[in-house]
């Protein structure tokens, strides 16, 4: 027999999955703008604002469950993890907005040497894959899927530092392209970190074990 609190936990899970879908759209759109030279700032801004609001709603729902049902330890573990995941999704959206802002203010990558957008596109594909994995593992409560982000996160970190090394070798001086590209790869690296945090939370929800996938 299901408990009343289970209904509330399922509602909270559904809220988070909706957040995940919207964050994926926001990140994809911001990166598309940078790589294709289109201005997506205002649309990404609307998505980001919506996600911050949804994060607050998820937090309110979590506190409501605690106040109404006095959850047992396993339920508290789930609620705590869901609150953290909501925060991580909100951070996704802010990084997506930052990427779009850079594109609007500095022209993104359109004036860069070809190797720069090529590197960022490859890095973007890996990061978007991690975001999708974090969302899918949450939806399915799939520990094995969550654990797969560890390998990709290390690859993203490696791409980040390799890019900086290559930029130092090639860059003749400070330029709008240099500023834009460095910030974008940094935000991509941070998004990858938050994808890993979410997957760590999924493992904790399902197993009660605190793991580090970074």
Inform me whether the pLDDT recorded for 174 exceeds 70. Answer: no
Q: pLDDT per residue over 77-93, tens digit each?
A: 999 999 999 999 999 99
pLDDT of residue 133: 96
Radius of gyration of the chain measured on its C-alpha atoms: 19
- Write down the number of H helices and E strands in the chain: 7, 0
H or E element: which one contains 41? helix 41-69
What's the mean per-residue pLDDT of the chain? 90
Inform me whether the pLDDT recorded for 150 exceeds 80. Answer: yes
Q: pLDDT per residue over 96-142, tens digit each?
A: 999 999 888 887 787 788 888 999 999 999 999 999 999 999 999 99
pLDDT of residue 2: 72
pLDDT of residue 23: 95
- The mean per-residue pLDDT over the stretch 10-30 comes to 95
Q: Which of 186, 202, 106, 184 is nearest to 147 (CA)?
A: 202
Q: What are the structural domains of the chain?
A: 4-207 (1.20.58.220)
Q: Is 72 exposed, middle or buried (0-12, 13-18, 19+ CB in 10 A)?
A: exposed
What pTM, to 2 d.p., does this model score? 0.87
């Amino acid at each position: 027999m299901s408990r009343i609190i289970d209904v509330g936990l399922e509602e909270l899970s559904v809220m988070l999955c909706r957040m995940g879908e919207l964050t994926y759209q926001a990140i994809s759109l911001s990166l598309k703008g940078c790589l294709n030279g289109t201005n997506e700032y205002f649309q990404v801004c609307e998505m980001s604002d919506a996600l911050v609001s949804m994060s607050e709603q998820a937090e309110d729902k979590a506190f409501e469950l605690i106040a109404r049902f006095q959850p047992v330890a396993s339920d508290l573990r789930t609620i705590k993890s869901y609150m953290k995941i909501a925060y991580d999704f909100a951070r996704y959206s802010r990084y997506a907005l930052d990427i779009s802002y850079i594109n609007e203010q500095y022209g993104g990558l359109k004036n860069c040497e070809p190797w720069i957008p090529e590197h960022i596109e490859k890095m973007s594909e890996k990061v978007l894959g991690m975001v999708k994995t974090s969302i899918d593992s949450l939806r399915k409560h799939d520990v094995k899927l969550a654990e797969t982000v560890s390998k990709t996160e290390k690859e993203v970190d490696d791409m980040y530092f390799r890019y900086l090394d290559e930029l130092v070798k090639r860059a003749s001086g400070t330029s709008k392209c240099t500023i834009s590209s460095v910030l974008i790869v940094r935000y991509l690296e941070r998004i990858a970190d938050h994808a890993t945090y979410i997957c760590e939370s999924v493992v904790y929800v399902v197993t009660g074990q605190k793991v580090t996938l970074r």
